[in-house]
Amino acid sequence: MSIWEYANPVKFIRTTDRILPWVSVAAVVCLGVGLVWGYFFTPDDYRQGATVKIIYLHVPAALMAINAWIMMLAASLIWIVRRHHVSALAARAAAPIGATFTVIALATGALWGQPMWGTWWAWDPRLTSFLILFLFYLGYMALWSAIENDDTAADLTSILCLVGSVFALLSRYAVLFWNQGLHQGASLSLDKEENVADVFWYPLLVCIAGFVLLFVALVFLRTQTEIRARRSRALLAREGRT
Amino acid sequence: MIALLLRDLRLAVRAGGGFGLGLAFFLVVTVLIPFGVGPETGLLSRIAPGVLWIGALLACLLSLDRIFALDWEDGSLDLLATAPLPLEGIVTIKALAHWITTGLPLVLAAPALGVLLSLPPSGYLWVLVSLALGTPALSVIGTFGAALTVGLKRGGLLLSILVLPLYVPTLIFGAEVARRGAEGLAVQTPLLMLAGISFGTLALLPFASAAVLRINLR
């Protein structure tokens, strides 16, 4: 019994089928509780007014946009080293989800920036590096869909993901150097000095948990779909109908 | 290795189209800019370093899909891959040939085109230096992209989507060196970063390109 047994697609589908309802329900509950709590039962901020509530979508989405790429990086490394197909498919399944989170973070950021900074968009390091991250997601997905052979596509995208990670990091520091920005620093850290006030902090934490669970559920679901799609393609190929 | 380099250079010069095309494109882009933003000298001299960098980057991008495409079509890429030379070396030579045929002419032409954009006199040297230091990185990164998309039909568009985000750090530091140089500010920090990116990509990316090429030739 080791973790590698779950690289068996049948086992993966059976296990995730058992977990998936629980994760989905937990995600819905967390998101529901967090968002309702955040939007209806917290006071307005004394400086930002009601717009502070965008934080419940903006921060978790931004967090997951980066974490999705890190998860794809880990899955790509596992594919390169141990060549487990489920891992490659999980990386493929995560990319559109990560791209969506990036768009949500950018859009809510724009909605928040308009009343606060008086502008929808600024060439600020954080904003710019998110835009570049979005471009990386686009390239990654484009490469996946451009290549016919699944294994070749998995190999190539894995290496692209590796190289892209290095360059994403480099771009982050490059844009920091290029322009000092408007965006505030991290509002969540483990030492309590910089944190947002407790009233906002607890519902935000619930929302983040909800987004993490949502991401896990979606990745499971999409990976299952990828496995089944590949199976049905194999069946069709066996019948000589592709 | 030298034979391969000479072969690539000869092909680029004789096969037509590839060699002068990037340069001509660079010229046309630079000439079009004043029509787009207006011929105001102050504005032009302020944006000149950035425009020259963007133009050079686009001209470089234009010729990337030629790096492997022709060799792929006539099968000589398979021969090269089975040659005693390691694939990493072949990839490096290919990048070098691309730089000599595309990057180097751009570097040399940039100060001349700077005249059209009324670049301040102090900027000529720094535009030259930043491009000379930055274009090798563009070639090496582009070779990686070309290796990724080598077997694909209509890979050119995909190539630009893949490569342009990777160009971001090089562009930022390169344009920053040129801009600061033109305004007479200290250039040391971005210059060192640019050199770091160039040498770093030169040292590491050929391995990634060779790995990708091996997968594509499988």
- In this complex, the residue of A135, A139, A174 whose CB is nearest that of residue B169 is A174
Q: Is the pLDDT of residue A233 over 80?
A: yes
Note whether B168 contacts A159, CB cutoff 8 Å.
no
Check if the beta carbon of residue B91 is closer than 8 Å to that of residue B172: no
Q: CA of B215 to nearest chain A CA: how many angstroms apart?
A: 6
- Kindly state whether A150 is in contact with chain B, defined as any CB-CB distance less than 8 angstroms: no
Q: Is the pLDDT of residue A149 over 90?
A: no
Note whether A174 contacts B168, CB cutoff 8 Å.
yes
Distance between the two ends of chain B, CA-based, in angstroms? 23
Note whether A177 contacts B205, CB cutoff 8 Å.
no
- Kindly state whether A236 is in contact with chain B, defined as any CB-CB distance less than 8 angstroms: no
Task: Map out the domains of chain B as residue ranges.
Answer: 1-217
Each residue of A160-189: pLDDT tens digit?
999 999 998 888 888 877 776 666 655 554
Q: What is the mean pLDDT of residues A151-166?
A: 91
Q: Is the pLDDT of residue B83 over 60?
A: yes
CA-nearest residue to B209 within chain A is A159
pLDDT of residue A46: 63
Instruction: Locate the DSSP E strands across A56-212.
Output: none
Each residue of B92-128: pLDDT tens digit?
988 998 898 888 989 988 888 888 888 888 888 899 9
Dihedral sign for Cα atoms in the order B59, B64, B67, B73: negative
C-alpha closest to that of A89 among A213, A182, A198, A227:
A227
Q: CA of B187 to nearest chain A CA: how many angstroms apart?
A: 13
Question: Who wins on pLDDT, A119 or A228?
Answer: A228
Q: What is the Cα–Cα distance from A179 to A239, expressed in whole angstroms? A: 58
Query: How deeply is A17 buried, as exposed, middle or buried, from its count of CB atoms within 10 A (0-12, 13-18, 19+)?
Result: exposed
Each residue of B145-167: pLDDT tens digit?
999 988 787 778 889 899 999 99
pLDDT of residue A183: 67
Provide long-range contacts, Cβ within 8 A and 24+ apart, for A15-23. Answer: A16/A220, A16/A223, A16/A224, A17/A224, A19/A220, A20/A217, A20/A220, A20/A221, A23/A213, A23/A216, A23/A217, A23/A220
Q: Is the pLDDT of residue A215 over 90?
A: yes
Q: What is the Cα–Cα distance from A140 to A22, expressed in whole angstroms? A: 31
Q: CA of A67 to nearest chain B CA: how many angstroms apart?
A: 19
Residue A221: CB atoms within 10 Å:
16
CA-nearest residue to A179 within chain B is B172
Question: Who wins on pLDDT, A148 or B13?
Answer: A148
pLDDT of residue A82: 86
State chain A's mean pLDDT as an integer: 84
Residue A181: CB atoms within 10 Å:
16
CA-nearest residue to B166 within chain A is A167
Q: What is the mean pLDDT of residues A222-232?
A: 91
pLDDT of residue A190: 46
Q: What is the Cα–Cα distance from A88 to A223, expressed in whole angstroms? A: 9
Note whether B218 contacts A175, CB cutoff 8 Å.
no
Q: Cα A138–B174–B10 angle (5° rounding)?
A: 85
Q: Is the pLDDT of residue A213 over 90?
A: yes
Lowest mean pLDDT among A106-120, B16-30, B193-207: B16-30
Cα separations in angstroms, A79 against A87, A152, A223 = 6, 12, 14
Each residue of A60-98: pLDDT tens digit?
999 999 999 999 999 999 999 988 888 899 999 999 999
Q: Is the pLDDT of residue A204 over 50?
A: yes
Note whether A164 contacts B193, CB cutoff 8 Å.
no
Q: CA of B127 to nearest chain A CA: how many angstroms apart?
A: 18
- Kindly state whether A87 is in contact with chain B, defined as any CB-CB distance less than 8 angstroms: no
Sole residue written with tokens 């086992």: A11
State chain B's mean pLDDT as an integer: 87
Q: What is the Cα–Cα distance from B117 to B138, expressed in whole angstroms? A: 23
Q: CA of A85 to nearest chain B CA: how many angstroms apart?
A: 16
- Kindly state whether A41 is in contact with chain B, defined as any CB-CB distance less than 8 angstroms: no
CA B212 to chain centre: 20
What are the φ/ψ torsions at residue B208 (nearest 5 degrees)? -65, -45
CA A168 to chain centre: 15
Each residue of B4-17: pLDDT tens digit?
777 777 777 666 55
Note whether A160 contacts B149, CB cutoff 8 Å.
no
Q: What is the mean pLDDT of residues B57-69?
A: 87
Sole residue written with tokens 């600024």: A122
- Kindly state whether A137 is in contact with chain B, defined as any CB-CB distance less than 8 angstroms: no
With a pLDDT cut of 70, the percent of chain A lying above it is 86
Check if the beta carbon of residue B130 is closer than 8 Å to that of residue B192: no
CA A74 to chain centre: 13
Q: What is the mean pLDDT of residues B132-157?
A: 89
Q: What is the Cα–Cα distance from A136 to A154, expressed in whole angstroms? A: 16
Q: What is the Cα–Cα distance from A150 to A148, expressed in whole angstroms? A: 6
Q: SS in 3 state form for chain B? A: CHHHHHHHHHHHHHCCCHHHHHHHHHHHHHHHHHHHHCCCHHHHHHHHHHHHHHHHHHHHHHCCCHHHHHHHHCCHHHHHHHCCCCHHHHHHHHHHHHHHHHHHHHHHHHHHHHHHCCCCCCHHHHHHHHHHHHHHHHHHHHHHHHHHCCCCCCHHHHHHHHHHHHHHHHHHHHHHHHHHHHHCCCCHHHHHHHHHHHHHHHHHHHHHHHHHHHHHHC
- Kindly state whether A74 is in contact with chain B, defined as any CB-CB distance less than 8 angstroms: no
- Kindly state whether A179 is in contact with chain B, defined as any CB-CB distance less than 8 angstroms: no
pLDDT of residue B194: 92
Which residues of chain A neighbour B193 with C-beta distances below 8 Å? 174, 177
pLDDT of residue A191: 45
Note whether A163 contacts B215, CB cutoff 8 Å.
no
CATH number for A9-240: choose from 3.10.50, 3.30.420, 2.40.50, 1.20.120. 1.20.120
pLDDT of residue A172: 82
- Kindly state whether A177 is in contact with chain B, defined as any CB-CB distance less than 8 angstroms: yes
What are the φ/ψ torsions at residue A148 (nearest 5 degrees)? -70, -55
Q: CA of A57 to nearest chain B CA: how many angstroms apart?
A: 27
Which residues of chain B neighbour A152 with C-beta distances below 8 Å? 215-216, 218
Q: Cα B51–B102–B57 angle (5° rounding)?
A: 30
Q: What is the mean pLDDT of residues A137-145?
A: 92
- Kindly state whether B164 is in contact with chain A, defined as any CB-CB distance less than 8 angstroms: yes
Q: Is the pLDDT of residue A102 over 90?
A: yes
Q: CA of A128 to nearest chain B CA: how many angstroms apart?
A: 11
pLDDT of residue A193: 46
Lowest mean pLDDT among A183-197, B26-40, B55-69, B155-169: A183-197
- Kindly state whether A155 is in contact with chain B, defined as any CB-CB distance less than 8 angstroms: yes
Which range of A108-122, B103-117, B127-141 scores highest in mean pLDDT? It is B127-141
Question: Who wins on pLDDT, B202 or B79?
Answer: B202
Coil, strand or helix: which one is A45? strand
Q: What is the mean pLDDT of residues B51-80?
A: 86
What are the tokens at A153? 């596509």
Q: What is the Cα–Cα distance from B151 to B70, expressed in whole angstroms? A: 11
Each residue of B32-48: pLDDT tens digit?
988 988 888 888 888 88
CA-nearest residue to A128 within chain B is B168
Burial B47-59 (b: 16+ CB within 10 A, else e): ebbbbbbbbbbbb
